[in-house]
Amino acid sequence: MQQALLNPMPASVNPTDSRSPASDGAAVTSVINHSARLSAHEHLAIYQRSYVARLRGCMAQQFSALEYALGEDLFRAFADDYLTAFPSTHYNLAELGRRFPAHLQATRPDALSDEKEDWIDFVIELARFEFDLSELFDRPAEEGYQLASVDSGDDEIGLVPTCSLFRFQFPTNSFYTRFKKGDLPDLPYAALSHCVVLRHDYKLAVYDLPADHYEFLALLAQGMPVSEAHRQFSQRHHIDARAFAQLWPVWKRKWMEANMFRVQRQAE
């Protein structure tokens, strides 16, 4: 029974017309009984259709922006191909789409072409972002920390535990955010973009970032103290220390308001 459900038949196949060989029929009837109205195979077909519908629904929920970008029919085709290649084997359906972005990359329609299509690059990037968001929401991390304030000293602050930076080849976060707000965005053209995803009090917040903000926060994400991040960033961009000293309070206040920093423990 488990094997039959973990390896459902393709949607194009009529379940009542397949699995008819004697050996297969014996396997089915060994776990499912006939009834007055339905055969064992017909009962199994109901289970399979329900199971596949449930998995499709989970994929559409986990990749809702991608389903919109591709359209329902094309998304279902990609999802069905993925579910056939990687049947669900985990008790937690949040894990269902973990390999979906990699599968899209491995089976991209232009894989054999010398010229790659931008829309395919975008949907793969969007799929990765959507799964990363769901993973960040559930990731175990310290929650009882104290948020920093603008009065906190630079040597006392660090990024909150769940803080992830993203660099995109498309305005992926903008597309995702507009879709979630109820807009109907068009597929975007390639354009480098950045964002940060934070979790505080079990709520996710996503902010677009200018490239220089991304680069500075990336230094902090490596575990650098603020003073060292100042030094390296200023050196890398040839910024006078006094000029950056005027810029930093503006950045710090903006990021504090976004709940991006916590007070570091004394042991750290």
- 3-state SS string over 172-226? HHHHHHHHHCCCCCCCCCCCCEEEEEEEECCEEEEEEECHHHHHHHHHHHCCCCH
Q: Write phi, then psi, for 111 (nearest 5 degrees).
A: -55, -35
Residue in 135, 159, 148, 259 with CA at minimum distance from that of residue 200: 259
- How far is residue 102's CA from residue 259's CA, in Å, rounded to a whole number? 32
- How far is residue 35's CA from residue 33's CA, in Å, rounded to a whole number? 6
β-bridge partners, 163: 198
Q: Where are the domains of the chain?
A: 2-119, 144-263
10 Å CB burial of residue 202 (0-12, 13-18, 19+) is exposed
- How far is residue 118's CA from residue 234's CA, in Å, rounded to a whole number? 35
Residue in 126, 124, 129 with CA at minimum distance from that of residue 111: 124
pLDDT at position 9 is 46
SS3 118: helix
Structure tokens at 186: 């068009």
Q: How many CB atoms lie within 10 A of CB 14?
A: 9
DSSP readout, 81-111?
A: HHHHHS----S-GGGTTTTHHHHHHHT-TTT
- How far is residue 259's CA from residue 161's CA, in Å, rounded to a whole number? 11
113 residue type, one letter: S
Starting at the edge strand found earlier in the chain, the sheet holding 193-200 runs: 163-168, 193-200, 203-209
- How far is residue 134's CA from residue 131's CA, in Å, rounded to a whole number? 5
- pLDDT tens by residue, the chain, 268 residues: 555 655 544 444 444 444 444 445 455 565 666 666 666 565 565 555 566 778 899 999 999 999 999 999 999 999 999 998 998 776 677 899 999 999 999 999 998 888 889 999 999 999 999 999 999 988 888 888 899 998 899 989 999 999 999 999 999 999 999 999 999 999 999 999 999 999 988 889 999 999 999 999 999 999 999 999 999 999 999 988 888 889 999 999 999 999 999 998 644 4
pLDDT at position 175 is 98
- How far is residue 71's CA from residue 65's CA, in Å, rounded to a whole number? 10
β-bridge partners, 198: 163, 205
pLDDT at position 140 is 85
- How far is residue 152's CA from residue 53's CA, in Å, rounded to a whole number? 52
pLDDT at position 216 is 96
